[in-house]
Amino acid sequence: MKTLNAFIGATALAALSLFSASANAAGYPERQITMIVPFAAGGPTDTVARLVAESMSKNLGQQIIVENVGGAGGSLGAGRVASADADGYTVLLHHIGMATSATLYRKLSYDTLNAFDYVGLVTEVPMTLLARKDMEAKDLKGLIEYAKANADKVTVANAGIGAASHLCGMLFMSAIETPLVTVPYKGTGPAMTDLLGGQVDIMCDQTTNTTKQIQGGTVKAYAVTSPERLDVLKDLPTVTEAGLPGLTVGIWHGLYTPKGTPKEAIDKLSAALKVALKDQNVAARFAELGTKPSSEQDATPEALKAKLESEIARWKPIIEAAGQYAD
């Protein structure tokens, strides 16, 4: 009899907590929301996050505050969200690094495919292969020759193992079969400062951080990783035109919540994301920066889940072949 009472008690408690979470979510959002960006302020992820957060805040009627939590190529910030309360008031804006880190890191503080719920895809951003302004090489062929001839001193900036800049740098070094000296930062915002100052030689970074620098001539640009040339950087050849088709890569970004977030909250976040991605200001700013908002059908939990799963499978063998891991 005691076991039956205990069972009934536990079931009632579980139902009550589920009901109260759901009831709380009914009025969601009732206070400000924190959007964790797992890289330093001023970089490409931060730029995307602040544009989307500003527009989503209007649709949700509550402020979304962006908090930068850099380190370990984005996995520190992702871990922060994985362990946050699953109440809809902490969200994560992260990119392809969510997928690559699942292979790159032998030990993450979270289980990539079981620690998060999904809101939707946000945008897919091309990358640009850059060098400091006074780099002698006139084209990618020349840059490769220079890198091979000076491998022990050519420095490549990235935002840590797991970052998009790390992935692109890894693909570049694999393609030229030459390891170079990598210099990690907490984001490519601070890395760009050193590239502009000539303290670091090469960086592969997203157009959301590099378009204005390239247009302003403050860095030397060699190629873009999109399949086609970009309207905003018409003179920049694609990596395929420049002879490195293996560097064709788009940095997709997604919005996540901790696992167990009430469905009502996720539905409201996904609806607000869809409205934000149709916001003329967001679309115009994205276009100026060489990218565009994800489609309505991609700004859904199902699309983001499918993307993450397929991208983990896609990059796993490539990373294993490159043999680059983080302990």
Among residues 75, 112, 165, 182, the one that binds ligand MLT under rule CB under 6 A:
165
* Nearest-approach distance from CB 74 to ligand MLT, in angstroms: 6
Site string for ligand MLT, 91-120 (x = CB under 6 A): ------x-----------------------
Stretch that binds ligand MLT, among 43-51, 220-228, 302-310, 314-322 (CB under 6 A): 43-51
Among residues 164, 170, 239, 282, the one that binds ligand MLT under rule CB under 6 A:
164
Nearer to ligand MLT, 261 or 324 (CB): 324
Task: State the Cα angle at 79 between 170 and 43, rounded to 5°.
Answer: 55
* Nearest-approach distance from CB 205 to ligand MLT, in angstroms: 6
Q: Does 169 bind ligand MLT (CB under 6 A)?
A: no
99 touches 77 (CB < 8 A): no
Task: Tell me how far the alpha carbon of residue 318 is from its chain's centroid.
Answer: 19
* Nearest-approach distance from CB 126 to ligand MLT, in angstroms: 12
Residue 183 makes CB contacts below 8 A (sequence gap 6+) with 155, 156, 157, 158, 191, 194, 200
Among residues 60, 82, 159, 173, the one that binds ligand MLT under rule CB under 6 A:
159
Give, as one character, the DSSP assignment of residue 294.
Answer: P
Q: What sign results for the dihedral spanned by CA atoms 195, 200, 202, 208? A: negative
CA separation (Å) from 272 to 1, 42, 55, 61, 262? 50, 24, 8, 10, 16
Among residues 45, 213, 226, 270, the one that binds ligand MLT under rule CB under 6 A:
45
**CA-CA-CA-CA torsion for 306, 327, 75, 123, nearest 10 degrees?**
-50
Q: Does 163 bind ligand MLT (CB under 6 A)?
A: yes
Q: Does 223 bind ligand MLT (CB under 6 A)?
A: no
Stretch that binds ligand MLT, among 40-48, 226-234, 238-246, 265-273 (CB under 6 A): 40-48
Q: What sign results for the dihedral spanned by CA atoms 70, 73, 77, 83? A: negative
Number of H helices, E strands in the chain: 11, 9
Residues found near ligand MLT in the complex (CB under 6 A): 39-40, 43-46, 97, 159, 163-165, 187-189, 206
